[in-house]
Amino acid sequence: GDLVIVYEKHDSLDHIYLKKDAIFKNKFGSFPHNDMIGKPFGAKIFSNCTSNRHGWVYILEPTPELWSSAVHTRTQIVNELDSSIITLNLD
């Protein structure tokens, strides 16, 4: 499936891989992937949950800036041996 960034609100982004018949659920409602597939980036998708009919999200194209905000873990510890091997193989 295609990777999309899900804009939930101004300080909340998530990422999902779209799969046919899958459902993305959050506090704003339930969003079937089938409603997102084929839509252009920037489309507003409304929740199909009966208890929260006013919920919506935007689907956005992954960019480096959005990806760094959507990924929840941003740190990686690299030990000296690993970094030396990576540096050796850079050329």
Q: What are the pLDDT digits (tens) for 29-53?
A: 899 999 999 999 999 999 987 665 6
Please state the pTM of the whole predicted model. Answer: 0.73
Statement: residue 19 has pLDDT above 60:
yes
Residue 50 confidence (pLDDT) = 60
- What confidence tens digit (pLDDT) does each residue in 59-72 have? 999 998 898 888 87
The maximal CA–CA distance of the chain, rounded, in angstroms, is 57
3-state secondary structure the chain: CCEEEEEEECCEEEEEECCCCCEEEECCEEEEHHHHCCCCCCCEEECCCCCCCCCEEEEECCCHHHHHHHCCCCCCCCCHHHHHHHHHCCC
